[in-house]
Amino acid sequence: MTPLETLVRSHVENVGPLSVAEYMSLCLSHPEHGYYMAREPFGREGDFITAPEISQMFGELLGLWAVATWQALGSPSRFALLELGPGRGTLMADALRAASGHEAFIKAVTVHIVEMSPALIAQQQKTLEGASATTQWHAALDSALAASEGPLIVLANEFLDALPIHQFVRTEDGWHERGVGMVEGKLAFIVNESAADDDVQSYCEQLSSDSGAIVEISPAVVAVVGELASAITSRGGAALIIDYGYEVSAAGETLQAVKGHDYTDLFASPGEADLTAHVNFGAVAGAAMRAGATSFGPLAQGDFLGRTGIHQRAERLAETNPLHRDAVAAAHARLTLPNQMGTLFKVLAVAQPGFTPPAFGSAQTVSA
Ligand code: SAH
């Protein structure tokens, strides 16, 4: 039994079931035993691999997107480049390297990082040693916003999928929140006896009225996007939100546990598997718009990377490193092809009113 499972069991026995959101947040961010708090989960040896770890092209293209955005904003003399949940820090290191030829950008930028994990902060500091910009770390978005100045250019890759979600189940007598309790001596889903609030009932019922249907709602995602979008609205700037997810709100269960590059049971090893949920991009767009910002896309990741020049970048990389031609081609395919990360992963932009971020020229906007 993992140390976190012992904690969860004793909570269930002494206090009662946890909500799915509480379970998710304990598993990921318990100060001592949370998944992200003590370990480095990325890469071949870890549990999963993210786009910046697949190829340097990903961070480089985002860095050049940040330069183009800064220029389109009128090249402000001070601004904040903010990244949410940078993992090992690879994306930011590649972005700053690609941007380093643009002296005025480098002179104007201060990098701000939001990261809750002390172990990952140490790793990020190592990765960003010698980078061309000064960097400050913050445990949460509010402190990063308070400490930074000027317009914001924000990058968030696979950050929102780690924020807690609530799940609701359609029963004979309406929608009830799902919880985590004990069934026959094991951790398992339970259904709360009391019915969910009226507004949750009516939201869920619009999506399905099938018995057993599940709807996921993430107030944490809405809060983070709202806070970010209102800062962008008042200070100016734009954000790129990249994640796997869906565009149109729908019933369905997407909470998943991954360990050693494979799916595992949600209750098999609490604190030792990554827990994520697909992002509801309609809800993200809605939160941005309610805060007064404009939302663009989401574009499919393959489309966004195509618009920012990945094909040319891959060609050039292969020419300068002929020995790595196959590896570059494989990474290019993995990031962009529809049957790989090209379609499931999506890129949504949040922008100050009246500003169309680079690459989003003719992008459709999902309705909230
Ligand atoms: N962007 C990186 C890592 C994604 S994993 C990449 O693409 O490789 C999620 C990251 O978000 C980790 O760095 C994790 O520690 C951080 N994180 C998750 N929830 C967080 C929260 N509530 N506050 C701050 N950081 C968080």
CA angle 263, 165, 238 (to 5 degrees): 100
Q: How far is the CA of 202 from the centre of ligand 1 (A)?
A: 32
Question: In the chain, pLDDT over 90 holds for what percent of residues?
Answer: 93
Average pLDDT over residues 17-39: 94
Average pLDDT over residues 295-309: 96
Long-range residue pairs from 305-311, CB within 8 A, at least 24 positions apart, any chain = 305/57, 305/58, 305/61, 305/335, 305/336, 305/342, 306/336, 307/359, 308/61, 308/62, 308/64, 308/65, 308/358, 308/359, 309/61, 309/64, 310/57, 310/61, 310/335, 310/336
Average pLDDT over residues 240-262: 94
Atom 19 (ligand 1): residue with closest C-alpha?
162
Task: List helix spans (H) across 15-111.
Answer: 20-29, 35-38, 51-54, 56-72, 90-99, 103-108
The CA distances from residue 267 to 6, 182, 327, in Å, are 12, 11, 36
Average pLDDT over residues 153-163: 98
CA pseudo-torsion sign 267, 271, 274, 278:
positive
Segment holding 79, helix H or strand E: strand 79-84
Q: How far is the CA of 159 from the centre of ligand 1 (A)?
A: 5
Q: How far is the CA of 308 from the centre of ligand 1 (A)?
A: 24
Q: How far is the CA of 151 from the centre of ligand 1 (A)?
A: 23
Q: How far is the CA of 76 from the centre of ligand 1 (A)?
A: 28
As for ligand 1, residues whose beta carbon falls within 6 Å of it are 36, 42, 50, 52-53, 85-87, 91, 114-117, 120, 157-159, 162
**pLDDT over 70 at 190, yes or no:** yes
Is residue 238 packed enough to be buried (19+ CB in 10 Å), middle (13-18) or exposed (0-12)? buried
Strands 214-217 and 186-195, by their bridges, are: unpaired
Atom 20 (ligand 1): residue with closest C-alpha?
116
Token code pair at residue 66: 């940040």
Helix axes 118-127, 90-99, angle to 10 degrees: 30
At 364 the pLDDT is: 65
User: Which of 58, 159, 160 to mutate to test ligand 1, by most ligand atoms within 8 A of the CB atom?
Assistant: 159
Atom 13 (ligand 1): residue with closest C-alpha?
87
Task: Please give the number of the atom of ligand 1 that sits closest to the Cα of 90.
Answer: 8
CA nearest neighbour of 298 among 345, 341, 348: 348
**Rounded Cα distance, 238 and 236, in Å:** 7
Adjacent-strand bridge partners of 48: 42
Q: How far is the CA of 157 from the centre of ligand 1 (A)?
A: 8
At 365 the pLDDT is: 67
Q: How confident is the model at residue 261 (pLDDT cuts 50, 70, 90)?
A: confident
Q: How confident is the model at residue 260 (pLDDT cuts 50, 70, 90)?
A: confident
User: Which of 116, 137, 160, 276 to mutate to test ligand 1, by most ligand atoms within 8 A of the CB atom?
Assistant: 116
Q: What are phi and psi of 249, to 5 degrees?
A: -55, 135
**Rounded Cα distance, 294 and 84, in Å:** 20
Atom 1 (ligand 1): residue with closest C-alpha?
86
Token code pair at residue 234: 């008042």
Least confident piece of the model among 40-44, 214-218, 308-312: 40-44
Token code pair at residue 321: 């490193």
The answer to whether 98 touches 59, Cβ cutoff 8 Å, is yes
The answer to whether 301 touches 342, Cβ cutoff 8 Å, is yes
Task: Please give the number of the atom of ligand 1 that sits closest to the Cα of 37.
Answer: 15
At 16 the pLDDT is: 95
**Rounded Cα distance, 125 and 128, in Å:** 5
Per-residue pLDDT tens over the stretch 279-288: 999 999 999 9
CA nearest neighbour of 277 among 14, 12, 37, 23: 23
The answer to whether 282 touches 220, Cβ cutoff 8 Å, is no
Q: How confident is the model at residue 367 (pLDDT cuts 50, 70, 90)?
A: low
